[in-house]
Amino acid sequence: MVVFGTRPEAIKMAPVILALQKDDRFRTIVVNTGQHQQMVDQVLEVFGITPDFNLRIMVEGQTLNQITCGVLDRLDPVLTSARSRPDVVLVHGDTTTAFAAALAAFYQKIPVGHVEAGLRSGDKFSPYPEEMNRILIDDLANIHFAPTELNRANLLKEGHAGEYIFVTGNTVVDAMKYTVADSYKSRWLKDGMCNVLLTMHRRENWGRPMASVFRAVNRLVADFKDLNVIFPMHLNAKVREIAREYLVASDRVQLVEPFGVFDMHNVLERCSFAMTDSGGIQEEAVSLGVPVLVLRDTTERGEGVESGILQLVGTAEQSVYDAAKRLLTDAFLDARTGKGAEIYGNGKASQRIVEGLYDSLLKVAS
């Protein structure tokens, strides 16, 4: 059983689901919790995936408690049904859906496999609540699929069994094989200009940090006449409220509705650089060779920082402005490493997960 509920999970689990569905050794059950119903539906359409169960937990203004309780309450009957009780539950990453689904499976003594295991920022409140979610999921999980050797080392240091840790690469690289297209055209990208993708949505950045970044963006657009900023606004009402209050919208600061996965990957691939607090975009940009200013004080994607493609800049207005100015004035194109950077894998993560899952289940059964 594969369980997901948010857009990033759906993107990264889609190639895993497709690989499992092609493998006769597995019967695959797909569960969408509906934590981000609308945004997930867009992703599933791109990959041609239809969930077997949709828990539809989403409510307006939902809290972390409501998400957790909703998943526990509505997933339990699916896990205990004779028709759908799985041999293993696969969850992804660090969302509240992933944590609650892992906990629900644990309560039923069903083995848990954690895709994208072992990422650590070292600060349980950054990102919040994701850092604690992934630590707790790894403690609940029986099988760990770590994207990198660094992630594997984190798991070993915490005492997890090495024989059930598989280094696979990141499945987002697999996903981009389905989405990035040479023929892509977009009305948001402007020829002859420096196109920059901006995204912000993390809970710890709501309020002053987000406002500070947006003030820096306003200054940059005023100072650089060839700068075109594209900001797909997250559906969260708080994010939209702050953006509309502090970002000066214009023909060069485009406040647009959230991109589907196809548009997001292709716009990112064609941008000069990105400014984001998203973990997924950090990985996607590294794989595409697109420089990123990370709008956070910590990151669990240390490999990208070491490569020079990611730069931690925080959210202070002057720090963000100065970092972006350096990219804009110091031949930013030199920072691009080109496509195909394999820090997060070579697009074969999904098949490695399938094989590791099968081998682990055989060990458990024996």
In this structure, are strands 253-256 and 273-276 parallel, antiparallel, or unpaired?
A: unpaired
- Asked if residue 129 has a cis previous peptide bond (ω within 30° of 0), the answer is yes
Structure token pair of residue 161 = 């069994």
Q: φ, ψ for residue 181 (rounded to 5)?
A: -130, 130
Between CA 315 and CA 118 the distance in angstroms is 26
Query: What is the CA angle 100-43-275, rounded to 5?
Result: 85
Of the listed 116, 277, 300, 303, which one is catalytic?
A: 116
Of the listed 9, 36, 74, 94, which one is catalytic?
A: 94
346 secondary structure, DSSP code: S
In the annotation, is 269 catalytic? no
Provide CB contacts within 8 A for 353, sequence distance 6+. Answer: 16, 19, 113, 115, 145, 166, 168, 171
Of the listed 36, 74, 120, 234, which one is catalytic?
A: 234
In the annotation, is 94 catalytic? yes
The DSSP annotation for 88-156 comes to: -EEEETT-HHHHHHHHHHHHTT--EEEET-----SBTTBSTTHHHHHHHHHHH-SEEEESSHHHHHHHH
In the annotation, is 203 catalytic? yes
Of the listed 144, 201, 252, 265, which one is catalytic?
A: 201
Of the listed 74, 114, 120, 130, which one is catalytic?
A: 130
CB 91 within 8 A of CB 112: yes
Between CA 344 and CA 327 the distance in angstroms is 24
Query: What is the CA angle 26-15-137, rounded to 5?
Result: 80
Q: How many CB atoms lie within 10 A of CB 163?
A: 10
359 secondary structure, DSSP code: H
Cα dihedral across residues 203, 102, 280, 185: positive or negative: negative
In the annotation, is 245 catalytic? no
In the annotation, is 92 catalytic? no
In the annotation, is 116 catalytic? yes
Spatial strand order of the sheet with 30-32 comes to 53-54, 30-32, 2-4, 89-92, 112-115, 143-146, 165-167
Q: Could you give the dihedral angle defined by the CA atoms of residues 177, 183, 184 and 190, in that order, rounded to the nearest 10 degrees? A: 130
Find residue 276's DSSP bridge partners: 199, 294
Q: Catalytic residues, which ones?
A: 94, 116, 130, 201, 203, 234
